[in-house]
Structure 1
Amino acid sequence: MDSVQGREVRTTAWNRLYTRSLFHPIKSLSLAFWVWKALLGLVIIGSPGPGYDTSTTLVPPRTAEGAELTADFGQLGYPSTLLKFVRWDSIYFIRIAERGYLFEQEWAFGYGYTRLLSILASAFDRTGQVNGLAQIARVGVVLSHLAHFVSVLALYGLTKNVFGSETNAKKAFSFLSASLHIVSPAGAFLSAPYAEPVFSALNIAGFYIYSSAFLDDRVGRSLSRDVKLLISAVLFAVATTLRSNGILSGVLFAYDAILDLVKLASGRFSAEVLRHLAIIIISGIIVALGMVGPQYIAYTAYCTLGANSRPWCTRLIPSIYGWVQAHYW
């Protein structure tokens, strides 16, 4: 009997917590997120030896590059703590952010993210040592945490826009979707200086704003719709500078353009359709710039050297991304 009553008490307490979470979703998601991040951070920092991954130990500590890395991180007074967040690709990201792209194969690591790290590290530098590795790593860790948090909230808003929030079941679905993104299998990599957390935040936020534009269109808010379409395109473009597969988000605008063209071809000609089509085309161009921009920068660096130009420069569509993946990786 006591066990049955205990279960009923626990069930009642859980139902209250569940109901309170649905009525205060942002507060609940925020609390869950930072509690999870705190626990994950304790696991990372408390891991014995080199931490959850040993890739940083591949950098020889007594070479010129390795000695510089150790000394730079040591200036913070917590070298082992910060180094435990610098693993795998993080080593490349913070090094490129510090001194730019030195080797061709480093272009596999998103141009937008390394530039963002460099700019933020310079803006928040307090030591007078602009773009030091320790400063870049610290900025990268903070940026990843904030970006992951933004992506959780954006996913909640996106799910509500797509599936609605009229019933408790729909509210619960949106809340559960965002909650699962908090405990993503990516784990510690969403806390380390990686491009993925920022890419995720930009891309999901772009989808959220795009879905909001769709809802505005349904109620006749044309100006608000157009502004949101352009904002979502900018977010997709910036995301594409971080990871080239962000260009796939442009399919949304290609699909919308096809629908507008079908309307025009079927005789449903109107100024509103033309206006919407123009906004869609501009939005698609903006997204494409996220791919073209870094490619152009790489082209000017490697394809304007005359006889010393790289092989990929002469291709029909010269792409350093495609070359690096095929030739080096």
Structure 2
Amino acid sequence: MTASHELRLITLYAICARLFFITLIVSASLLPPFDSSHKTILPAADPRSLFDVFVGSLLRWDEFYFADASRNGYQYEHEWAFFPGPSWARRLVRSVWSTGGRRTISSLSEALFTGALTNCLTVWSARILYLISVECTGSASVARISALLSLLPSSPAVIFHVGYTEPLFNLCSYMGMLNCMNAKWAQASFYFMLANSFRSNGVLLAGFFLWGLIADPFLRKQKIPLLNCLKSILYAAITIAPFVYHQFTAWVTFCQDDGLSVEWCKRFPPLIYSHVQATYWNVGFLRYWTPSQIPNFLICSPPLLLLFWSSTDVISRLFRSHTQSGLAKQASMVLPHMVPHAIHAFVLTSWILVAAHTQIILRLASSMPFLYWSAARLILEQPKLGAWWVGWSVTWGCISSILWAVFLPPA
């Protein structure tokens, strides 16, 4: 089967998956919601109209923050927890829409357009994941399984139905990773920079440059040119530029003149992101480790366990192969291109486990191809466990979509 035929099949399956989840979400939205915030944007919505129900299903949770920030900017301190990428993207949509003398796009049309766009981006991401997987594993069958597994993501399936950060973050991350595998570092830094403008964990993507330009040659006992070191610094700086910009903008806004009265302005470094997460979401080291959060730990345990098991296995094989017979002679599905992904997964998962709302891994894991490679490895090497993973993915995808529709957590 040719690569183009594989991509067409993956595209078809991805479209079918999107249609299934859209149908499920709209059907569940006919149930009475726990919260009626969406009516503030659609006050005249008719609960008997399937179209109004569909539009209403696009308006949940963080969607309100993104929509408000894109129109009015950051008005309250807690809104600085959200990076500017979604606002920039929505403003671009409105700017393009208004060209040619058209009137300003309405909230309803904007919700519909962003929903359609994110569904298209999700389909495209599955195609890019297939290409990454072929490059990394050298196996079309593993790449096919990985791409198909991404259609049943650990993330609540519904966030690929609305204007959330994940669709664009995932696509930009995938594109950057694909360029890294082909040593196209400048292009990779551009995509990683875009990804970081949507989510804070995008700063960790800078590690791919440190691996590819410094760590990998070092482990191969190759000479590391000074230019490689300078490139890694430059490309890492480009990657984290949106994070720095966001923090600097907040510092200028809050910490000038009498800003020293603001607590976080006195800290070094003065990061509003850390302050907002700790103050409004109680994020911090082991703060989430309380008895009341045990259900959330249980909900997110499948991707946590899979990522920890697979990443530690790959990293340990790396060191064993390096000390025994060289990096290029690793066995099974543990290949050189996979190592930076394993390290990235281990670092991110460890941070999420001890210093964040742990169930957020359900959303962040979808941006890591390593999750789907690990699941594909389960299916191929331990079919019974692989079947459990697929069963959990289908079950969680359906349950999370219904919970979203009726405005219940986790989201």
For normalisation by structure 1, the TM-score amounts to: 0.74
1:152 equivalent in structure 2: 126
Taking the aligned partners of 1:278 and 1:83, their CA distance within structure 2 comes to: 49
Give yes or no for contact 1:97–1:117 (8 Å, CA) kept in 2: yes
Give yes or no for contact 1:96–1:114 (8 Å, CA) kept in 2: yes
CA deviation profile, 1:269-316 (whole Å, cap 9, x unmatched): 7xxx23333322211111121210111122222222425753211211
2:171 equivalent in structure 1: 201
Tell me which stretches of 4 or more aligned residues in structure 1 moved more than 6 Å.
none
Give yes or no for contact 1:113–1:242 (8 Å, CA) kept in 2: yes
Does residue 251 of the first structure (1) align with residue 207 of the second (2)?
yes
Give yes or no for contact 1:205–1:232 (8 Å, CA) kept in 2: yes
1:184 equivalent in structure 2: 153
CA deviation profile, 1:27-72 (whole Å, cap 9, x unmatched): 1011111122122222222335357xx365146x5xxxx2xx1258
1:167 equivalent in structure 2: none
Q: How far did residue 23 of structure 1 move? A: 6.9
Taking the aligned partners of 2:122 and 2:250, their CA distance within structure 1 comes to: 29
1:70 equivalent in structure 2: 42
Q: How far did residue 172 of structure 1 move? A: 0.9
Aligned length: 276
Taking the aligned partners of 2:106 and 2:145, their CA distance within structure 1 comes to: 40
Q: How far did residue 258 of structure 1 move? A: 3.9
The higher radius of gyration belongs to 1
Taking the aligned partners of 1:93 and 1:318, their CA distance within structure 2 comes to: 24
Gaps of 5+ in 1: 1-19, 165-169, 214-227
Taking the aligned partners of 1:27 and 1:261, their CA distance within structure 2 comes to: 37
Aligned residue among 85, 88, 97 for 2:61: 88
Give yes or no for contact 1:203–1:235 (8 Å, CA) kept in 2: yes
Distance 1:130 1:254, change over 3 A: same
2:36 equivalent in structure 1: 57
2:187 equivalent in structure 1: 231
CA deviation profile, 1:118-143 (whole Å, cap 9, x unmatched): 22133224895535322331232122
Q: How far did residue 320 of structure 1 move? A: 1.2
Taking the aligned partners of 1:34 and 1:233, their CA distance within structure 2 comes to: 29
3-state DSSP of counterpart to 1:24: helix
Taking the aligned partners of 1:118 and 1:145, their CA distance within structure 2 comes to: 19
CA deviation profile, 1:85-143 (whole Å, cap 9, x unmatched): 21111122122222211111011222112221222133224895535322331232122
Distance 1:306 1:45, change over 3 A: same
1:211 equivalent in structure 2: 181
Taking the aligned partners of 2:123 and 2:78, their CA distance within structure 1 comes to: 31
Distance 1:300 1:181, change over 3 A: same
Say which is worse superposed, 230-239 or 107-116, in terms of deviation: 107-116
**Bigger relative contact order (CA 8 A; separation at least 6):** 2
3-state DSSP of counterpart to 1:294: helix
1:17 equivalent in structure 2: none
Percent identity among equivalent residues?
Answer: 23
Taking the aligned partners of 2:164 and 2:26, their CA distance within structure 1 comes to: 18
Give yes or no for contact 1:210–1:229 (8 Å, CA) kept in 2: yes
Taking the aligned partners of 1:267 and 1:240, their CA distance within structure 2 comes to: 31
Taking the aligned partners of 2:62 and 2:42, their CA distance within structure 1 comes to: 17
Let me know the Cα RMSD of the aligned residues. Answer: 3.0
Distance 1:155 1:299, change over 3 A: same
Amino acid of the structure 2 residue aligned with 1:278: L
CA deviation profile, 1:199-219 (whole Å, cap 9, x unmatched): 111111111111122xxxxxx
2:10 equivalent in structure 1: 29
3-state DSSP of counterpart to 1:86: coil
Amino acid of the structure 1 residue aligned with 2:163: P
3-state DSSP of counterpart to 1:318: coil
Distance 1:22 1:136, change over 3 A: same
Taking the aligned partners of 2:128 and 2:60, their CA distance within structure 1 comes to: 27
